[in-house]
Chains A and B, each alone.
Chain A
Amino acid sequence: MTGDHSVVLIPVIFFTAALLVPLCRRGSRRWPYWVALVSSLLGVAASGEALWRTLSTGEAIHYHLAGWRPPMGIELIADPLSAFFCLLITVVTVFVLWHGRSLVESETPGKAVPFYSCVMLLLGGLSGILLTGDLFNLYVFLEISSIAGYALVAIGDKRAPVASFRYLILGTIGASLYLLGVGFLFMTVGSLNMGDIASVLQTRAMSPVEISALLLIVLGIGVKMALFPLHGWLVDAYTHASSTATSLIAPIGTKVAAYVLIRALFYLFDTDLVREGIPVMNALAVMGAVGMLWGGVLAMAQTDLKRMLAFSSVGHVGYIALGIGLASPLGFIAAVLHTLNHSVMKAVLFLICGSLRQKLGDNALDSMNNSLRLRMPWTMAAFTLAAISMIGLPPTAGFFSKWYLVLGSLEQGKWHWVIVIVLSSLFSVVYFFRVLERVYLRPQEGAEEEPAPARDESRPSMLAPVLILSASLLLLGLGNVMIVNHLIRPMLPAGF
């Protein structure tokens, strides 16, 4: 891979693949799958290379598209933060695609070609968002990824088109708010390049127009991130999309939005002013905290596993928002670490939903009992591990992001956040143990007459990614010191 171009290669690979997939529909039925998988692997390699290079040199990699220098031209930037997110989304994609090899065909027969094409488009858009250094260009990528996302959700069950429509309306509102904010900024600053804008904004006080711009950007992205109470699209979209689509969108979609939030709040605007002048950080923290409780409460009330996990996603987006809202190094570490952990945990859980749906036909909690433990012991073990990590017991990964969040709150003397964190962890104990109790303890009805169910584990191509990802939860937990010191600390913005 030629050194300078790896940055631009990441979106280019995915967009090319999005075009290649429809072309190979004439070939073997497996070709779309292989094209998508190979391009994701290439994406992993390219983002890994970019991350390695920016970490080892300690400088961001700037790439000027077509040689036009900013602020006139568009530039792509890979610094530790964006390269890390790129690596995260591509790695998760590889595992989800691996798991979905047979699932896509069986759940949405005949739609493999548009499915994989949309996946590639989504990835292209998301990686573009992560890498671009231009606010308007970011909007373009945001729309590309969103439209691919709407289409992916629509390829689902009977109710999916309606869910997708809600997603479309609310997502467009979010994007419009963002665009409005960018317009305001362009009016006063006269540039769209992030570095340019930052250098202007951080030298003088912000005018009301710029403050409005900041708010519009934050809230517009908040909709995309499903920040409470802007999360109206998320639950239905996650519930009704096909298993593989959910496992893809849930771990990475909201996380990229979280990235934009971090980028805007800590790198674009004057951090001191954002922290003290206006209540946006506190508002984020409050929205996050209420979302943590709200998501937990509603997750307890659900009767469908996938819907329960969707509500728990609302809660966990709250953790990230709370970490950002603390506006301190520890809060920043907590937010980024939780992004990583939650991506992996949610990927495992939604993938298991897919495996269960293939065996049981649906994800209703009522149909689960201890025959599952006998039929799919390994899948259930992975589920248990991921659930423990979601609850946040040491030494799994989930514990450590909560730990940093607690430390960050205590550091500022904000005890109420600690109480919220503990409460929401208790909620997650309740809703996960409700599932575990069924799987491990509740006997099958009429089990006395029937013989014990035989081992009926899901196929290796679905089991392997689940097991690898869930085992990595332990590794992420045990290696968190290393991750924090070598990966996240270099990301800390200059103001800290």
Chain B
Amino acid sequence: MTVPEFSPAFWFLAGAVAMLVLPARARASAFLLFPLASLIHIWFLPTGVLQAYAYLDHELILLRVDGFSRGFGLAFSLAALVIGIFSLRVTDRLQQTAALFYAGGSIGVTFAGDFFTLLIFWEVMAVASAMIIWAGPGRAAAGAGLRYLIFHLFGGALLLAGIVLLWHGGGGLEIRRFDAAASPAVILILLGVLVNAAMPPLHAWLPDSYPKAGVTGSIFLNAFTTKVAVYVLIQCFAGWEILMWAGCFMALYAVCYAVMANDIRLILSYHIISQVGYMIAVIGVGTEFALSAASLHAYNNIIYKTLLFMGTGVVLHAVGTTRLTDLGGLARRMPLVVALYMIGAFAISGFPLFSGFVSKAMILEAMGENGGWLVHVLLLAAVGTFLSVGIKLPYYTWFYRESGLEVKPYPAHMPLAMAILAAACLAFGMVPGWLFAWAPSAVEFQPYSVYQVVEALQLPLATFVAFWFFRHKILGEPKIALDLDWFYRKSAPLWETLFITRVNRVFSATQDILDHWTEKAFAFARNPARLLREVPDRFDANLQRADLGSNVGLILVVVVLLTLLSLW
């Protein structure tokens, strides 16, 4: 089947426009059409550079298909579709429009063939995702959304600076693998991408904002931004050894915060960072097998992470809180949700027979061959993953003790969406060949070796035993752990004084001085006695302005100066 060759992002952009005009009752169902169209479209797209326009001296490549972009594009479209099913009850026009713009931006980046196109879709993503956060409830969401937007505009500025330098250096703008001999342009691009990948210390926007979005908002957010960054890292920075170290650090750092967190959506938010750490580490290895491992782990991650976020979404929808210290004993009221959540939790923890096992085994294999002892850091992170997502979160949420919270009924399409994803988790785990079919290059790998299975069983077993003995100590008190966002959240008043109040004061002082002296000079020229006249000491833009004489004088000064300069 031949399909029209334009970027599948346009399905989503068209959908976003449609959301603006459709009535509330039709919107949620119409929402599903656009990811579905994109899914089918990507499936049938041939490989190669398909849509390009000449612009100035280079080409804008809107559609370039290869193994990676096809896989990521399918995963993103699938996620948008299933989250759409989960959100069938949403009626908020802003959120639905922003969600489609956001998904469209992600797909646009995935299929972009040059950095200029990438940048445009990148900014669309940033703004649309900030809108999703703003759609969340309360003042906390408003503040977090603003911080999020500023952080991402900063990342976008880094990216833009890198792209301008790249263009200026004559390197051409097409997206390609950079070799590890770094130039300033490439470093700037890397930093811009790492902001989106939430690499510590550039990660603080993620745990700050994702838990504050609405029920469906945070599900949407989790699937796209970081994975798009992973995609760009795969395309451009494969084999950069530093990424191996950075990724391992990232995986462990975020896991520690996840263990400390008291909010279930915060736990999952930190696990986004930790999982991306796995992918980045293996991108640093850079072999063909490693890149397949990174992208397959990303696809799996999109699926099970969305499933987990949906589980917490149902909890939030049903009881209205996500703090572990308030929850407990809800299992009997939502047994199906618990079961589906646990499938996701086993998948992220890499249990045999679940999808995470397959891609995690590939990552450990690739790291073990090239990374030496670093693989043990990843194993430690895996322990923390199972501890927080696999045991702590479900145990205190659904078991442990009766919280006495009132449970609202939740609509049936929520567990339906979860069931679709859970089925995918199980299928990819039991038949690894189905997963390998998505890989960008052919994969010859047998995940179910004795070594892998033993490791994947003993680690969680030990974790469970340790947890059980300390289970009354671990829950703790309702507290938050400070992260690097402290630096800009606590210092906000300082920045405001420094960059707004002070700056304003400097400028009004400058204006004062300028006005003062022009006025003095011309007053003196006209009537020396006026020198003694009093001048009001506060700057008020509306009352005090340079008088007509100063303006006329200024014109004459410029005329004379320029004439002198020219005729000298």
Contact = CB atoms under 8 A, between A and B. Distances in A.
Bound together? yes
Interface of A: 166, 169-170, 173-174, 177, 208, 211-212, 215-216, 219, 223, 229-230, 232-233, 235-236, 278-280, 283, 297-298, 300-304, 307, 393-395, 406-407, 410, 430, 437, 440-441, 481
Contact of B562 (A174, A280, A307, A441): A280
Contact of A278 (B124, B541, B542, B566): B566
A216 B552 CA distance: 15
A177 B562 CA distance: 14
**Complex A-B, nearest 8 residue pairs according to Cβ-Cβ distance, in ascending order:** A232-B551, A278-B566, A394-B120, A297-B507, A229-B554, A441-B142, A410-B168, A219-B559
Query: Chain B interface mostly helix, strand, loop or mixed?
Result: helix
Nearest to B565: A279
A367 B124 CA distance: 31
Contact of A215 (B119, B504, B551, B563): B563
Nearest to A406: B164
B566 A173 contact: no
B321 interface: no
B123 interface: yes
Interface of B: 53, 55-56, 119-120, 123-124, 127, 134, 142, 146, 164, 168, 500, 503-504, 507-508, 511, 539, 541-542, 545-546, 548, 550-552, 554-555, 558-559, 562-563, 565-567
Given A177-B559, A216-B559, 14 more contacts: A170-B555, A212-B566, A219-B555, A219-B559, A232-B548, A280-B562, A283-B565, A298-B507, A298-B511, A301-B504, A301-B508, A394-B119, A394-B123, A430-B500
A112 to B, nearest CB: 29
B566 A230 contact: no
30 contacts: A169-B548, A177-B555, A211-B566, A211-B567, A212-B567, A215-B562, A216-B559, A219-B559, A229-B554, A230-B555, A232-B546, A232-B550, A232-B551, A278-B565, A278-B566, A279-B565, A297-B507, A298-B507, A298-B541, A301-B507, A301-B539, A303-B541, A307-B542, A394-B120, A395-B120, A406-B164, A407-B56, A410-B168, A430-B500, A481-B53
A212 to B, nearest CB: 6
B55 A441 contact: no
A103 to B, nearest CB: 23
Given A216-B559, A219-B555, A208 B567 contact: yes
A297 B554 CA distance: 20
Nearest to A280: B566
Contacts of B565: 278-279, 283
A166 B548 CA distance: 7
Contacts of B53: 481
Contact of B558 (A166, A230, A393): A230
Nearest to B60: A481
Contacts of A430: 500
A211 B567 CA distance: 8
Nearest to B54: A481
Given A173-B555, A219-B555, A303 B504 contact: no
B551 A170 contact: yes
Contacts of A394: 119-120, 123
A279 B566 contact: yes
Contacts of A236: 545
A85 to B, nearest CB: 24
Nearest to A233: B551
Contacts of A233: 551
A236 B562 CA distance: 27
Given A166-B548, A170-B551, A301-B507, A307 B559 contact: no
A440 to B, nearest CB: 8
Q: Give the interface centre of A216, A236, A394 by most chain B CB atoms within 10 Å.
A: A394
A78 B567 CA distance: 34
Nearest to A311: B541
Given A177-B559, A212-B567, A301 B541 contact: yes
A54 B530 CA distance: 59
A302 B543 CA distance: 12
A174 B53 CA distance: 45
Contacts of B548: 166, 169-170, 232
A231 B403 CA distance: 69
Residue of B124, B539, B542, B562 ringed by the most chain A CB atoms within 10 A: B562
Contacts of A232: 546, 548, 550-551, 554
Nearest to B561: A283
Given A298-B511, A394-B123, A441-B146, A169 B552 contact: yes
Most buried by B among A216, A393, A430, A440: A393
A229 B119 CA distance: 36
A406 B550 CA distance: 34
Most chain A CB within a 10 A radius of its CB, from B120, B124, B558: B558
A427 B554 CA distance: 25
Contacts of A169: 548, 552
Contacts of A208: 567
B504 A300 contact: yes
Contacts of A230: 554-555, 558
Nearest to B511: A298
Contact of B55 (A174, A280, A437, A481): A481
Contacts of A441: 142, 146
Contacts of B500: 430
A212 B558 CA distance: 13
B248 to A, nearest CB: 35
A144 B49 CA distance: 57
B396 to A, nearest CB: 35
Given A211-B566, A300-B504, A301-B507, A219 B558 contact: yes
Contacts of B56: 407
Contacts of B142: 441
A272 B475 CA distance: 78
A229 B559 contact: no
Contacts of B55: 481
B554 A173 contact: no
A17 to B, nearest CB: 34
B167 to A, nearest CB: 8
A430 B496 CA distance: 12
Highest count of chain A CB atoms <10 Å: which of B55, B146, B541, B552:
B541
A279 B567 CA distance: 10
B559 A215 contact: yes
Contacts of A440: 134
Given A215-B563, A410-B168, A481-B55, A303 B554 contact: no
Contacts of B551: 166, 170, 232-233
